[in-house]
Amino acid sequence: MEKENNIIELKSVKKYYQMGEEIVKALDGINVKIAQGDFVAIMGPSGSGKSTAMNLVGSLDLATQGDIYLDNLNIEELEESDLAQIRGKKIGFIFQGFNLIPNLTAKENVMLPMLFQDVDEEEREAKAGHLLKLVELGDRMDHLPSELSGGQQQRVAIARSLANDPEVILADEPTGNLDTRTGELVMSFLEQLNKKGKTIIMVTHSPELAHEHAKTIYWVRDGRIEKVTKRFGKVWKEIKI
């Protein structure tokens, strides 16, 4: 029964890269279980493997060895076209650098993921407008990214991540390029989404951010899971997975 509740699971996953004559072990046998509705932080310093873990958790990359399950489907066995469709429906991405298309308006950026899921234009427009109002950008829909502040761009990215109503939101250093006040606003949006049932996975190097907002923290170091801690009320305890 436990497996059915895990929306994402990595089993003995390794990710190796060939760098000249050397093999770099970015991840060296990690196990991750992410339950539906959890708020998970993947924590670690630069070079720890957390970005590689994010790519694998988000089905953006395949493992060198091991199995990755997304909603109980082993993505290692899927064709890329099928994987792209499932990923587009199941996971919304928020990137540190926003990754907005510069020549598209805020509204057009939010509409884009729906285009790849064959949503008709009228529905795309209506939903994009609704989502931008949700992140308090109803008056900035027709602005290009260059006409928006960093915080506004990140909120467009949040709206875009919700375009296909995914079960999982994957946020890579979501406050990394923002001032403290705007970062708090972005985290507030993520907490609200989590309260509505969305599974949030946040990659961060900040223990403060992880402890303040997450319910489960995976501590990554040198390509391995160093420990897993979980919040019980106001107390954090180390757990086994």
Give the integer Cα–Cα distance in Å for 74 and 77: 6
Residue 133 lies in a domain: yes
pLDDT tens figures, 162-199 = 999 999 999 998 888 888 888 888 899 899 999 999 99
Our count of domains for the chain comes to 1
pLDDT at 3 over 60: no
Question: Does residue 50 lie within any of the structural domains?
Answer: yes
pLDDT at residue 181, rounded to an integer? 84
**By residue range, what is the domain housing residue 39?**
34-63+78-239
Residue 20 located in a structural domain: no
In a domain, 194, yes or no: yes
In a domain, 73, yes or no: no
Percentage of the chain exceeding pLDDT 90: 67
Instruction: Count Cβ atoms below 10 Å from residue 5 Cβ, excluding itself.
Output: 12
Residue 1 has pLDDT above 60, yes or no: no
Averaged pLDDT, 75-101:
88
CATH number of domain containing 227: 3.40.50.300
Whether 176 maps to a domain, the answer reads: yes
Range with the largest mean pLDDT of 94-98, 99-103, 186-190: 99-103
Residue 34 C-alpha from the chain's centroid: 12
> What pLDDT, on a 0 to 100 scale, did the predictor assign at position 68?
93
Query: What's the pTM?
Result: 0.89
Does any domain span residue 22? no
Question: If 0-12 CB within 10 Å is exposed, 13-18 middle and 19+ buried, where does residue 19 land?
Answer: exposed
pLDDT in tens, 124-160: 999 999 999 989 999 999 999 999 999 999 999 999 9
The model's pLDDT over 45-85, given as tens digits with 9 standing for 90+, comes to 888 898 899 889 888 888 999 999 998 889 888 888 888 88
Angle at alpha carbon of residue 177, lines to 110 and 124, rounded to 5°: 5
Amino acid 4: pLDDT: 53
**Residue 102: pLDDT over 90:** yes
The answer to whether residue 72 sits within a structural domain is no
